[in-house]
Amino acid sequence: MLCQADLVLTARLHRPGRRLVGVLRGVTDFSWVCYISELAVSASAQGLGIGKGLLDEARRQLGPAVAIALISTPNSVGFYERIGLTRIPDAFWLLRECYSDERHEHDVAE
């Protein structure tokens, strides 16, 4: 997953051991849009500004002319709204095929 991404950013604590606490993975053409396919912050580090910091760094590296798009899990919507992302009503989703009985929270029930 990481080797096929165009943009990978990580966040580590400024402490001995520098434990990984956040990661952002994106796919982009570097001119029109970057789709953030993963933004994850360790539960123990949430609320420290790491997620916003990773998105800010993505914006800095991509430049202001590149839009950033992502799909939120229901539990994260408030976070994205608080940091200034805008909901868009005209997005579409084609469900992926699951090859097991496992369902993920972002998959829509049939």
Predicted confidence at residue 109, as pLDDT, reads 45
Q: What was the pLDDT predicted at 84? A: 93
10-residue mean pLDDT profile of the chain (110 residues): values are 83 86 95 95 94 97 95 92 92 78 50
Report DSSP state, residue 43.
Answer: G
pLDDT score recorded for residue 45: 93
- At 11, phi and psi to the nearest 5? -130, 135
Return the pLDDT at 98. 76
